[in-house]
Amino acid sequence: MTTVAEYIGDFLREKADKRVSNWFLMSSLMPTLGIISIYLTLVYVILPAYMKNRKPFQLTKIIKAYNLFQITSCSIIIYWMATSGWVQGDYSLGCQPIDYSNNPKALYLLQGFHWTYFLKMTELIETIFFILRKKNNQVTKLHVYHHASSMTLAWIGCKFIGGGMSCVPVLLNSFIHILMYTYYYLAALGPSWQKRLAPWKPRLTIAQMVQFTLLIIHSMAVFSPNCAGPRPFILLYLPNVVIIYKMFYDFYKASYHAKKTAQKVK
């Protein structure tokens, strides 16, 4: 009798994109899970113990360079996706089937998903910066879950659904990250910039929630009877988007709405 695990394994092997089977870190999910395990161990065990009796590191120059790297990388990803058919009008923003052929344009787009996966891996470094600077209040459950789940979903995106309507989440997320890392870069310029940027901090969280709302709406297209989109993977992806939205909403309510209420009471 076929077990549930065997059934799931067979299903995933059948649905896997054969074009990426020999690509770096794409043959199995295990290396990704291993990297995330190392990340969690560093974040929750090794680095807090290492920093316990040490002064915070001054990493301003490194953080500026890191933020510029993220801004540039996200801009390249947007250009990569947009020039793979979206700008030319070959793709629609609604239900867009995935081209699993070896067409050069389809392969070029798929490579964009592969690089997006590596970009999500580099985003894990942000948490390490927080701990080395003793900004442990920023290492929230939301922050850690968001980074770990984003990297996992980026691997799934490249392994199974690299192309078609899966481009929209990558485009939206890259745009939001350009805004976010631009904010971080400017904030690293000093207290005067931090003061100017203060009104924009809650707006960034709102922008994140708008992004997740748009992604949920966009995902609904796959349930149209005439849509040949990746329905099983959307069913896996949607709960994560809802969870992330709820976590961002709770963060916004606790960080900004509560402060406004307290100020009104005063």
- Give the other-Cβ count within 10 Å of 210's Cβ: 12
Task: Supply angle C-alpha 136, 137, 138, rounded to 5.
Answer: 85
Q: Which helix (H) or strand (E) holds 22?
A: none
Q: Is 113 exposed, middle or buried (0-12, 13-18, 19+ CB in 10 A)?
A: buried
List the one residue out of 39, 19, 30 whose CA is nearest residue 114: 19
Cα–Cα distance between 12 and 21 in angstroms, integer? 12
Cα–Cα distance between 174 and 74 in angstroms, integer? 5
Residue 161, SS3 per DSSP: coil
With beta carbons less than 8 A apart as the criterion, state whether 164 and 98 touch: yes
**Helix and strand element counts for the chain (H, E):** 12, 0
Residue 57, SS3 per DSSP: coil
Q: Is 146 an active-site residue?
A: yes
Q: Which of 114, 143, 146, 177 is catalytic?
A: 146
Cα–Cα distance between 249 and 199 in angstroms, integer? 18
Residue 3, SS3 per DSSP: coil
Residues identified as active-site: 146
